Structure 1
Amino acid sequence: MSALGMKAPLTRSSSKRNGLQGVNTSLREELEGLKEMCCSQNRTIDELRDTLLQRATVTHHEHYALVRRCEKLKEEIERCQTRGGDSVNKAHELEKQAIQQQLLALRADGEETNTLLLKTRADVAECENTSAHWKQSLISPERPKHFLRRNSLAAKKKLQYATGAKQGGRASHRKLQ
């Protein structure tokens, strides 16, 4: 075979290789963008965790309401003690109910915080899975370009959704449910 006959297949192979290298470069850039989004998501999680750990367990309004309720219960106890008998038991029961209400409020707050953290962890795991998928896609450049782009768009939407839900805080979390 002549040198001229070998030149055409060599040119086609070089063009195909150059095209695949371009796609590979583009995918690497997208992967870097996804990695940055994952890092941002991790920072958001850390900020949320810090905020939740520093947050008071009961708001000032709730605290004031509980203090006021305790004062009323103490007054009721004093009145009951002057009456004696079953009234003392009633006062103890009222005090017990007030404490149970406070515990229920604290439990609900803790459960909401836990749910938010679990959802955030799931979003980060999904982000990491997507990143791993992209790394695998970069290893095998023979995959069709449209398939990779479709997966890229889906991953970006999921990350944007997850990032938006975390930045929106509890209000966004409640809307999503």
Structure 2
Amino acid sequence: MKRIRYAAALLLVAASMPADGVRAQTLRQHGPHVHGIATVDVALDGPALQIAVEAPGANLVGFEHPPHDAQERARLEAVLAALRAPSGWLSPAPGADCRLLDADVQPHGYDAPPADGGDAHADIDARYDYRCATPEALAYIDIRLADRYPATRQVVVNLVLPQRQDRQVLGPGDHRVALAP
């Protein structure tokens, strides 16, 4: 019984200690890496619309290792180019007059094989900053990731809106995310 109390006290002390050292060692922290599922976070604050995408590389590129040849390099570059210019798969409602200000696309895991020689897992993260002239007219956003990248079978969309927080799941053939109540 004393050992259990001692272990519990030790865990409480460890949990209350600053985790800065641990945070400094963590390069990036994301949700689970699940093939076939992409996560899209949508936040609207006044005229500022921010959209973040997180997807396993297998969903978008078709492989999760550094490119082996010119064909794989071209495939990766084509996907990154399409993500940097999202108008082909991401469309805020036209009435809101949203303009893309910045797009940041980051591939992870495509530059070198895993140091431990284990299975490769590559992800692509993207962030889009829009400014909407009429944010109150932003009734929906069309997200066509699954149409453009068929290995993406499900898109989980997390919404943080002025009037509510919500989650919608898009399946094959679904692309419209309703923002209006």
TM-score range, shorter chain: under 0.3
TM-score (norm 2): 0.24
Larger radius of gyration: 1
TM-score (norm 1): 0.24
Q: Relative CO higher for 1 or 2, CA cutoff 8 Å, sep ≥ 6?
A: 1
User: Which structure has the highest helix share of the two?
Assistant: 1
